[in-house]
Amino acid sequence: LRLGVLGSGEGSNLRALIRSIQNLELDAQIVAAITDQGDSGFLKIAKGEGLPVHHVHGGANPRRFDEEAQKKVAEILKEAAVDVVVLTGFMRILKSPILDAFTDRIVNVHPSLLPAYKGATAVQDVLDEGELETGCTVHLVNAEIDAGRILAQAKVPILVGDNAEKLHARIKEQEHRLLPKVLAEWKRA
């Protein structure tokens, strides 16, 4: 399975994918690692592992993704003959140049039990609502944010004394198991 991985943050899910490939738990290759953040953990890990890495400038608004930049990313992904596009905390919203080229072949990992707590502040929102349990979701990506078909979920209990940082760290532990597992079971269309 040829993976194109996109991320904007710490890069812990990228690292988990690399480990799963090295451990032979996941039969895949990361053929493109793409980030919009020049100073991210994601970029450092990708470079450190010698992955084919691309830093694209998505535009001034950190959530929007310039049309031109999206066309460029779609080209990179096609050129690398990517089978599945994996979003690991990529903060810009994908539109048609990428969505149309990879329909049903884009997965995202989200830190809540979707459909509950969509959006960029899910971990804090769960705490603010006083929930007792949350988790993570791996789902397909379409034009509607955090609403594509759910592929797998894992639960995480909320503990007394949790804050967003502690809780997010425990959610990520589950993401690191769940995302490689979903990809290992991926059925080629």
Q: Which residues are part of a known binding site for (6R)-10-formyltetrahydrofolate?
A: 64, 91-94, 108
By CB under 6 A, residue 134 contacts ligand GRF: no
Tokens linked to 82: 């990517």
Among 31, 43, 84, 109, binds ligand GRF (CB under 6 A): 109
Are 38 and 8 contacting, i.e. CB atoms less than 8 angstroms apart? no
By CB under 6 A, residue 175 contacts ligand GRF: yes
Under rule CB under 6 A, how many of the chain's residues touch ligand GRF? Answer: 15
Nearest in space to 9 (alpha carbons), one of 137, 135, 168: 168
Are 94 and 73 contacting, i.e. CB atoms less than 8 angstroms apart? no
Residue 5: strand pairing partners: 33, 86
Nearer to ligand GRF, 71 or 99 (CB): 99
Among 10, 49, 125, 131, binds ligand GRF (CB under 6 A): 10
Helical spans, DSSP H, in the chain: 12-22, 41-48, 67-79, 96-99, 122-128, 164-184
Nearest in space to 180 (alpha carbons), one of 30, 47, 8: 30
110 catalytic residue (yes or no)? yes
Residue 124 CB, nearest distance to ligand GRF (Å)?
Answer: 12
Annotated binding site: 11-13, 64, 91-94, 108
Binding to ligand GRF (CB under 6 A) within 60-89 occurs at 88-89
Residue ranges binding ligand GRF (CB under 6 A): 7, 9-13, 42, 88-89, 109-111, 136, 172, 175
